[in-house]
Amino acid sequence: MSDYIYSYRESGSSKNITFIVTKDCQLACKYCYLVGKNAKERLPWEVAKKAIDYVLNHEQDFQEESVVWDFIGGEPFLEIDLIDKICDYIKTEMFRLNHHWFNSFRFNFSTNGINYDSQKVQEFIKKNRQHLSIGITIDGTREKHDLNRIWKTKDGFSPKPEEEKGSYNDVVRNIPLWQEQFPGTGTKVTISSADIKYIKESVLHLYSLGIHEVNINVVFEDVWEEGDDKKFEEQLIQLADAIIDGEFYTDYTCSFFSENLGKPLDKKLQNQNWCGAGRMLAVDAAGNFYPCTRFAQYSLRDKKAWIIGNVHDGIDKNKLRPFLTLDRCTQSKQECIDCEVAEGCAWCQGENYDAAESPTVFERSTAICKMHKARVRANNYYWNKLYRKLELEGIAREEADKHVKKSNFQEPC
């Protein structure tokens, strides 16, 4: 990993610019928030070029120390030729302009991993390796993964239940190559109501594949059924036991467990937004700018797209202004602010907008409230058990050290 990545992560000052290169994908994942995927809308090269030119030639408006050029779909690697051309142009222009982002950037991808080993993708990786991060999504065990991450039909639709074909085999075969090229990279797992029962075995399965960092979260949409929070807590407690008893905590992580989770809200955090909507920038095939990809039409169930400009006219700062005032207090009910386990309770700004009764970003969706509280209870169990285990081991080691020292002292020369 190159030095710039370390400095990028430490600086905390970065701009995320996202190209929606395609709305097509090989899969029809059941929990996907992209409700408008299709094979027709592909980012034209001319639109991508204008977006790059606008950003790089308005350096005064993009003063962050570093930049992440993010590529999403659908499945981004379906458009590897376009991506390769975009990345070459970005590098050339940043050098030509002596831009302050030159050598302080990375290209970021989240992929389903199906065509990761293709010749064109591998050539792209080789060319850009020092400024590249790629995450492959694998949901856990074959049963968990294939429950949701299924192939779409030839005509582009979700298959009938009896015709579903999972993608586990097509993804897992590329995991060793991915790990070899990006050691230490984590995967992202999504949990919905139907697959709660697979959480423990799925995290352990990912560990067994050599994936040391498992970033895992529940969907923010209102899909949860009565009793899901209890099942969720039970699975997390079982996972906690497995991680601690198996001492996986020494070399593996799972984002469900965090020492800072589930405390009363720190007053310093009241003026912060959970996500970066409004401080990011996304562009689609039509050349429209969005505060985040979740505000593009193909991401929205019930609301109209929230467009903040386009590649021809630039960013309309008045349309962007509401996002710059977002923090926990401006969009949360008082009960959320005063909640005893508020810290670590997340939200998605796009889902807030889509689920709101009116077209506003100032109404927080609380569909995951019970799930968050269940996670907090399991998290408390995890850390209490771990600290108790380490404490007892420390006492045992201390007593053993005393015994060893005493034996050594009494041993004749």
Whole-angstrom Cα distance, residue 384 to residue 234? Answer: 16
In the numeric block, the tokens 């592909």 are attached to 42
Same domain membership, residue 304 and residue 342: no
Same domain, 193 and 133: no
pLDDT at 16: 97
| pLDDT for the residue numbered 397 | 67
Indicate whether 403 and 282 sit together in one domain: no
Q: Same domain for 314 and 358?
A: no
The CATH number covering residue 108 comes to 3.20.20.70
Whole-number CA gyration radius for the chain:
23
Pairing state between β 66-72 and 105-111: parallel
Q: Sort strands 253-254 and 213-218 into parallel, antiparallel or unpaired.
A: parallel
Pairwise CA distance, residues 349 & 300, whole Å: 12
In a domain, residue 144? The reply is: no
The last residue of a domain, from among 291, 325, 359? 325
The residue from 291, 309, 325 where one domain ends is: 325
Pick the last residue of a domain from 285, 302, 325. 325
Domain of residue 67 covers 13-138+152-159+276-325
Q: Both 217 and 333 in a single domain?
A: yes
296: which 2 tokens?
């593009």
Q: Is residue 175 part of a domain?
A: no
Q: Are strands 288-290 and 309-310 parallel, antiparallel or unpaired?
A: antiparallel
In 291-338, beta strands by DSSP E: 309-310, 314-315
In a domain, 246, yes or no: yes
Q: Looking at the structure, do residues 407 and 302 belong to the same domain, yes or no?
A: no
Question: What is the C-alpha end-to-end distance of the chain, expressed in Å?
Answer: 52
- Domain check: are 280 and 268 in the same one? no
Q: What is the pLDDT of residue 410?
A: 36
Same-domain status, 207 and 265: yes
Query: Crossing angle of helices 228-245/199-208, nearest 10°?
Result: 30
Give a yes or no: residue 103 inside a domain: yes
Q: Indicate if 318 and 344 belong to the same structural domain.
A: no
Query: In sequence order, what are the residues at sequence separation of 6 or more whose Cβ sits closer than 8 angstroms to the Cβ of residue 296?
Result: 20, 282, 284, 288, 290, 305
Query: Per the structure block, which two tokens stand in for 231?
Result: 């099942």
Phi-psi region of 219 (alpha: psi -120 to 50; beta: other; left: phi over 0): beta
pLDDT averages per 10-residue partition of the chain, 413 residues: 34 86 96 92 98 97 97 97 98 98 96 98 97 97 97 89 96 97 94 97 97 96 97 98 97 95 83 89 98 96 97 96 92 94 94 96 96 98 95 76 44 34
Q: Which of 131, 67, 56 is nearest to 95 (CA)?
A: 56
Domain count, the chain: 2
- Regarding whether 402 and 283 lie in a shared domain, the answer is no
Structure tokens belonging to residue 276: 């970066």
Cβ neighbours around 394 below 10 Å, total:
10
Taking CA 384 as the corner, what is the angle to CA 214 and CA 141, rounded to the nearest 5 degrees? 25
- Chain length of the chain: 413
Closest among 136, 134, 2, 122 to 66, alpha carbons compared: 2
Residues 134 and 239 placed together within one structural domain of the fold: no
Pair (239, 190) in one structural domain: yes
Residue 128: Cβ-neighbour burial (10 angstroms; 0-12, 13-18, 19+)? middle
